[in-house]
A and B are shown apart, each in its own frame.
Chain A
Amino acid sequence: MNIYRHEMRQNLGATAGWTLALIAIAALYISIFPSIAGNEQISDVYRNFPEAFKKTFNISEATLSAFAAFYALVLNLVLLTGAVQAMNLGTGIVSKEGRLKTADFLLTRPVSRGSVLRQKLLTVVTALLLTDLVFLAVDWLLIQAMISDSFRFRTFAVSSLSLVFIQAFFATFGFLLGAALPRVKRVVAVSLPAVFGFYIIALFDTVIGEKVRFLTPFKFFDVNRLTAGGGYEAATVVYLAFLVAAAVIAGFAVYQRKDIHTT
């Protein structure tokens, strides 16, 4: 458990920084809603939902709050930032010993590589869950304080859960890359292109067509529908769980036999 405790201490500052960044983004954007609330066009957003979806979730123009559509925008930016955090953390923590030339120190201790990696993974999970819990609590309070529109807690909770999902994807994807790449000299050089790459793929949803839902985590779920009161589709949740599990298993398998550079 020493590695876990050490890694947690090392990552506490960065985790606090990211949490503050997420809160700042949410506060910045939520604060402008009251001033633009008047000219919000709910009907346009509403019209874009398929009939079947509206029926399933009992959504009508009357129940849809104007803030819902706006919160989708906020959530989009939060997801982007959260993704960068998760990917940095996942890639960084696994490739750290190779990068900082501390591998021979750590790996000559009486701990198996599996145990090293397990503790590192646990650090990632703890740090991200801490971030999400604090962020979501503050986010909800901000909404309560600044928004008079009715926005149900259930909708908030369900839609905000997407942050946890997207971080799970990027953290484990980074975890796998950190383990599989021969050496990661700079974490941001891996994480930023990857996250923005997926983000840009998501922008071209109409070119790629229906398949896009499985190509980029930013389209695993439609944020607009989530904030309107919709839920997650079972297929995507299963798919996401599969990807996460596959990345973790593959990461462990690769790391066990990896030739780690010590010079």
Chain B
Amino acid sequence: MNIYLTELRHQWKALAFWSLGIVAFMVSAMSKYDGYRKAGTSVNEIFRELPGGISAFFGADILDLQSVGGFFTICALYLAVMLGIHALLMGSGIIAKEETDKTIEFLVAKPVSRDRILLAKLLVGLTTIVILNLVTLAVSIASVAPFDPGPTDNGDIVFLMPSVFAIQLIFLVIGLTFAAVMRQPRHAGMLSGAVLLASFILSAWVDISGRLRFLRFLTPFQYFDQKSIYANHAYSAAHVVIAAAAVAVMLAASRFVYRGRDFSL
């Protein structure tokens, strides 16, 4: 419990900055939407005219981007990337820092098992991503409010947030696993960052090319793709199951390796 509380106290400042970032993002996104509406330009046209299949990346072929809900879905694609970055920095940092700060000897000399350390740190990670997810939900609902959304639009936002959370969870666990199993955990942040960048680029590629659809199984951004979730109004059960299994496997692997790993000092 002490580890949990100490770690959580260290996170407030970072959480405040990330929340500010989300506010800035949503406010500018919705003022862009407002600009389109005032100028009477069709948002659908703008996105459909993007060259080279990029329109598919924004879901212009399946969404009504004119509606508040449709436009928010595009924002959600970016929110998922932003919160994913937070989650992977969180997951990798919280484990790696004991070794980069040379505090690991202090910690493991206390009468707590390594399993407990790992568990406490995982819980801190979960707490922060839940908080950030709820902040994002509140900010999103507040920032679309001026566009008199119907109850369905707010419902859509609530419906999309679990997909963002799923991406946060996956990247939190990826970061945590890298830091727990690598011999040099200080590289874990970089490596999980590379995984996120690669997933994002691959996800965009699958959307744009419309080919090799099986590659969708390689990138979490396709598992919880906000635009198809919004368009079909459903999560894909298969993807949810695979993601849950992947998270479980990674956690089991971290626990297994972290128990007996030599720390880098």
Interface set of A (CB-CB < 8 Å, partner B) = 21, 25, 28-29, 32-33, 35-36, 40-41, 44-45, 69-70, 72-73, 77, 81, 84, 88, 99, 101, 185-189, 192-193, 196-197, 200, 203-204, 206-208
> Are A206 and B32 interface neighbours, CB within 8 A?
yes
- Which one of B46-54, B106-114, B142-150 is at the interface? B46-54
- Which one of B65-73, B161-169, B186-194 is at the interface? B186-194
Q: Closest residue of chain A to B208, judged by CB?
A: A32
Q: Could you tell me the distance in whole angstroms from the C-beta of A72 to the nearest C-beta in chain B?
A: 8
Chain A residues contacting B97 (CB-CB under 8 Å) are 185-186
Report Cα–Cα, A126/B29, bound state, in Å.
39
Report Cα–Cα, A73/B53, bound state, in Å.
10
> Are A188 and B49 interface neighbours, CB within 8 A?
no
Query: Does B59 have its Cβ within 8 Å of any Cβ on chain A?
Result: no
Report Cα–Cα, A186/B175, bound state, in Å.
13
Interface set of B (CB-CB < 8 Å, partner A) = 21, 25, 28-29, 31-32, 35, 49, 51-54, 78, 81-82, 85, 89, 93, 96-97, 100-102, 186, 189-190, 193-194, 197-198, 201-202, 204-205, 208-209, 211
- With contacts A186-B100, A207-B28 taken as known, whether A69 is within 8 angstroms of B190 at the C-beta atoms is no
Chain B residues contacting A29 (CB-CB under 8 Å) are 205, 208
- With contacts A185-B97, A189-B89, A193-B21 taken as known, whether A36 is within 8 angstroms of B189 at the C-beta atoms is no
Report Cα–Cα, A29/B205, bound state, in Å.
7
> Are B89 and A188 interface neighbours, CB within 8 A?
yes
Chain A residues contacting B198 (CB-CB under 8 Å) are 21
Checking A21, A36, A99, A200 against B52 with a beta-carbon cut-off of 8 angstroms, the contacting residue is A36
> Are B21 and A32 interface neighbours, CB within 8 A?
no
Checking B101, B193, B202 against A185 with a beta-carbon cut-off of 8 angstroms, the contacting residue is B101
Q: Could you tell me the distance in whole angstroms from the C-beta of B46 to the nearest C-beta in chain A?
A: 10
Q: Could you tell me the distance in whole angstroms from the C-beta of B36 to the nearest C-beta in chain A?
A: 8
> Are A196 and B89 interface neighbours, CB within 8 A?
no
Checking B51, B78, B202 against A200 with a beta-carbon cut-off of 8 angstroms, the contacting residue is B78
> Are B190 and A193 interface neighbours, CB within 8 A?
no
